Amino acid sequence: MNTSLIPNAARLFLFTAFACLLASCCACAVPGVGAQSMNMNVTITNANVTISNMNGAVAPVPMPEEPKSTVYGRAVYDDTGRPVKRARVQLLNIEGRGQQYAGLTNANGEFRIRKVPVGNYFVTVDAPGVMSPVSFLDIQEMRGNSHPDLREVRKHFDEVDVDGKSDREVNVRAKRGASVSGRVTYADGDPAINVSVSIMRRRGERLAQLITGVNPATLYSMRTDDRGVFRVAGLPPGEYLVAVSETVEHGESDAGRYDPMEASIFGNPLMMTFYPSATRAGQATPVRVEAGEDRDGVDITIAERALHTLSGVVRGGRDGRPVASASVRFAPKVPASGVDATLSSPYEETRGTVQTDEQGLWQLREIPDGVYIISVNPPSVYESATTATTTGGVDGAPPTRPRRPKKRYAPKQQEVKVAGGDVANINIVVNEGGRISGTYVYEDKQPASYQYASFYVERAEEGETAGGERITGGGSDGKFTIDGIPPGRMYLRASLYNEDTEKTYVKSMTWRGRDLLREPLEIAQGTDVEGVQVVMSSEVATLDVRAVSGTDKNAARGVVIILAPVDPTQWPHPDTQLSCASGRDGTCAISGAPGEYLVIALTSGERVESVGDVIKRRAAGAPRVSLRAGERKSLEVLTPSGN
């Protein structure tokens, strides 16, 4: 795919979504399960091995042999049999990490894609008006709300198996999607030009933000032209809500960062008007289309609404002094239920951000009525750059060390309601942040200088990441520090892996005789917890799983297998769970810390709002497995049919 015309932010999100949809791992499939719970994501095919940590760092092992397979054939329109000329044909890896390979068709629709590695691929045509696997993505699912369902994708797209040695011929059927078109105007009749158009697929009480493709022509079609006219094509059959949103600068960070492509994809959830002129998704008129249908007359009048200003001050909790250079941003409070609860942008946290001035003052503009969450991230301050110990510095001066940022204050969130007017004098008090520091080593007690490490804190009561700065890369001396931790009962969590790709897990985490793997720390204002000791081990346990369905025990693909500790107190915490997703042959492997586990299976397309709740419901009847350090076991898991 030629991605040079797609902005970095949009391209990163789209490709991450592709990887989550097409990869047989559930790091992106189940809330909290995978990236952190497995300490790393491991993907193994016949061609390569890739290991990545929770922050996306990747350590690839070179392929032992260059692939020699060529995938060739002809792309034609499914309804007419005519060739698809001068279009890009893509191979999207289904059971790898979302790798993509592409070739261009000629005037007869013929294409050749060389050096394709081993794998199972979807074969698609990337052209305006043609359905794409992207059209079946649910952005909220890709953010971790449930396991993506590939069954619908398989109904519309061909698959091909590649062995890396022999060539494969495939005839690609490009299926035309439906189109929706209309004109957008203001209340006075003027055309609304260059506003973003959002298409949301409706499934009961859920809305799935839709992207019809990643080629520039398709993405730019999701904006109105100089007449206020839009036409979005390539839609799969279904029921949709159509909305438009104006571009508004709520805060200083918006200035100079406007990206029309990103806005086309994600819009502005605060400024949406739904067809025909509703301000809420629950009041919109749905539009239903069938494959290949052209639906016109979807005209939208942008709703008039009053816009207001939010302003206030950020102060320290102990001394009441203003906090300068703090980052203040806002986001709408998500409703508890209904279709409006599913409306949110994955980039909304980067919009509407301002910094406090020397008096701690801040202001946000053009805010419609609603309930919002104001989030404050205090600035970093720096410790002294010198050590007050021995000689050894230049000309007898004390030795120096690099200045290290320290969060003096902890992050803070505060709810505010806007109703009919400006809201001023919002007083946000930030508490002094706590700190946790320590060392991490292998069992041989050597410093883990060649380890990548990430440490963070998690509220014991909520099972959610809370405050504190996520620190990656432990440094050359195997030390770590987390600053700016808000008051509360906090679990310390860690994710680690080494350069030789051997899997590691946290064997112990102690402080003053306390087991921090099972016991939270009580953090008060300014608490400084020093001397935490973390011991890692590479003697992971491995469970080889084969998911089967029906009486014939056929291989079940796309099944997420979760290993949850038998201890119920650990269920709310995603990092205590291990997981994998079955491939085409129904198999996958789970590696991680030894222990006693419950085995939970999530079928393809099964909705999951809380993994902890799923474990609670199924714990009584779930099989158990005991895994010792360095042990490898096999297990067959029976799942419902239809996968």
Distances (CA, A) of 571 to 384, 432, 574: 42, 31, 7
Please give the pLDDT value at position 64.
54
Please give the pLDDT value at position 148.
56
Tell me the two tokens of residue 548: 């089967």
Please give the pLDDT value at position 75.
97
Please give the pLDDT value at position 487.
87
Sign for the CA dihedral angle at 82, 88, 93, 94 comes to: negative
Alpha helices, DSSP H, located in 200-271? 216-220, 260-266
Say which CATH class 8-174 falls into: mainly beta
Instruction: Identify the burial level of 268 via C-beta atoms within 10 angstroms of its C-beta, where 0-12 means exposed, 13-18 middle and 19 or more buried.
Output: buried
CA distance 256 to 254: 6
CA distance 28 to 36: 11
Count of C-beta atoms within a 10 Å radius of residue 556: 24
Please give the pLDDT value at position 266.
54
Backbone phi, psi, residue 239, to 5°: -105, 135
The H or E element that residue 93 is part of is strand 88-93
The H or E element that residue 637 is part of is strand 632-639
- Can you list the positions of beta strands (E) in 187-339? 196-203, 206-210, 229-235, 238-245, 272-274, 287-289, 294-295, 300-301, 308-316, 327-332
* Mean pLDDT computed over every residue of the chain: 78
CA distance 289 to 303: 25
Give me the amino acid identity at 282.
Answer: G
Please give the pLDDT value at position 493.
87
- The architecture CATH gives domain 309-377+413-426: Sandwich (2.60)
Please give the pLDDT value at position 462.
55
CA distance 425 to 254: 23
Q: Which span out of 209-213, 329-333, 607-611 was modeled with the highest average pLDDT?
A: 329-333
- 133 pLDDT above the threshold of 80: yes
Rg value, the chain, Cα = 27
Count of C-beta atoms within a 10 Å radius of residue 318: 12
First to last CA, the chain: 30
Q: Give the list of residues 6+ apart from residue 314 with CB closer than 8 angstroms, or none.
A: 322, 323, 326, 328, 356, 360, 362, 376, 378, 428, 429, 430
- 364 pLDDT above the threshold of 60: yes
Which residue bears the tokens 């030789």?
500
Q: Which span out of 198-207, 348-357, 512-521 was modeled with the highest average pLDDT?
A: 512-521
Please give the pLDDT value at position 394.
40
Of residues 306, 318, 241, the one with CA closest to residue 271: 306
HSE (CB half, 13 Å, CA atoms) of 349? Answer: 6
DSSP state of 579: E
The proportion of the chain whose per-residue pLDDT surpasses 70, expressed as a percent, equals: 70
| pLDDT: which is higher, 320 or 26 | 320
Looking at residues 40-50, what average pLDDT do you find?
35
Separation of CA 373 from chain center: 21
Task: Name the band, by pLDDT with cuts 50, 70 and 90, for residue 155.
Answer: confident
Please give the pLDDT value at position 404.
53
Count each helix (H run) and each strand (E run) in the chain, helices first.
Answer: 6, 45
CA distance 350 to 361: 20
Instruction: Mean pLDDT check: name the lowest of 213-227, 305-319, 452-466.
Output: 452-466
Which residue bears the tokens 């499934």?
203
Please give the pLDDT value at position 406.
61
Domain 541-639, CATH number (from 2.60.40.1120, 3.40.50.920, 1.25.60.10, 2.40.170.20): 2.60.40.1120
Count of C-beta atoms within a 10 Å radius of residue 95: 21
- 124 pLDDT above the threshold of 90: yes
CA distance 128 to 234: 7
Contact present, 74 and 111 (Cβ < 8 Å): yes
**What are the residues facing 247 on neighbouring strands?**
none
Please give the pLDDT value at position 476.
53
pLDDT digits (tens, 9 = 90+) for 524-571: 888 999 999 998 888 889 999 999 987 788 888 878 899 999 988 888
Q: Cα angle at 219 between 218 and 220, to 5 degrees?
A: 95
pLDDT digits (tens, 9 = 90+) for 266-292: 556 678 899 999 998 889 999 999 999
Please give the pLDDT value at position 624.
95
- 182 pLDDT above the threshold of 90: yes
Please give the pLDDT value at position 407.
64
CA distance 564 to 615: 7
**What are the residues facing 354 on neighbouring strands?**
328
Contact present, 407 and 327 (Cβ < 8 Å): no
Task: Name the band, by pLDDT with cuts 50, 70 and 90, for residue 398.
Answer: very low
Contacts of residues 14-18 at CB distance under 8 Å and 24 or more positions apart, as own/partner, are 14/134, 14/211, 14/214, 14/265, 15/98, 16/142, 17/134, 17/137, 17/139, 17/142, 18/92, 18/98, 18/100, 18/133, 18/134
Looking at residues 82-104, what average pLDDT do you find?
84
- 399 pLDDT above the threshold of 80: no
The H or E element that residue 426 is part of is strand 423-430
Of residues 204, 196, 143, 242, the one with CA closest to residue 339: 204
Please give the pLDDT value at position 449.
52
| pLDDT: which is higher, 6 or 552 | 552
Instruction: Mean pLDDT check: name the lowest of 65-79, 95-109, 488-502.
Output: 488-502
pLDDT digits (tens, 9 = 90+) for 506-531: 899 999 999 999 899 999 888 999 99
Domain ranges in the chain are 8-174, 184-301, 309-377+413-426, 434-537, 541-639
The H or E element that residue 20 is part of is helix 8-22
Q: Which span out of 52-56, 87-91, 538-542 was modeled with the highest average pLDDT?
A: 87-91
Looking at residues 618-640, what average pLDDT do you find?
91
Please give the pLDDT value at position 229.
97
- 181 pLDDT above the threshold of 90: yes
Tell me the two tokens of residue 134: 């992207």
Task: Name the band, by pLDDT with cuts 50, 70 and 90, for residue 88.
Answer: very high
Q: Which span out of 114-128, 293-307, 393-407 was modeled with the highest average pLDDT?
A: 293-307
Superfamily of domain 434-537 in the CATH hierarchy: Carboxypeptidase-like, regulatory domain (2.60.40.1120)
DSSP state of 281: G
Count of C-beta atoms within a 10 Å radius of residue 413: 13
Contact present, 205 and 338 (Cβ < 8 Å): yes
Separation of CA 155 from chain center: 26
Task: Name the band, by pLDDT with cuts 50, 70 and 90, for residue 605.
Answer: low
| pLDDT: which is higher, 230 or 218 | 230
Of residues 459, 405, 435, the one with CA closest to residue 532: 435
**What are the residues facing 287 on neighbouring strands?**
240
Looking at residues 225-238, what average pLDDT do you find?
94
- 162 pLDDT above the threshold of 80: yes
- Can you list the positions of beta strands (E) in 486-610? 488-498, 505-511, 514-515, 521-523, 528-537, 541-549, 554-555, 560-565, 578-581, 587-592, 595-602
Q: Maximum CA pair distance of the chain?
A: 84
- 455 pLDDT above the threshold of 60: yes
Task: Name the band, by pLDDT with cuts 50, 70 and 90, for residue 123.
Answer: very high
**What are the residues facing 110 on neighbouring strands?**
74
Please give the pLDDT value at position 295.
97
pLDDT digits (tens, 9 = 90+) for 431-446: 988 889 998 887 866 6
Per CATH, 8-174 and 541-639 having the same topology is answered: yes
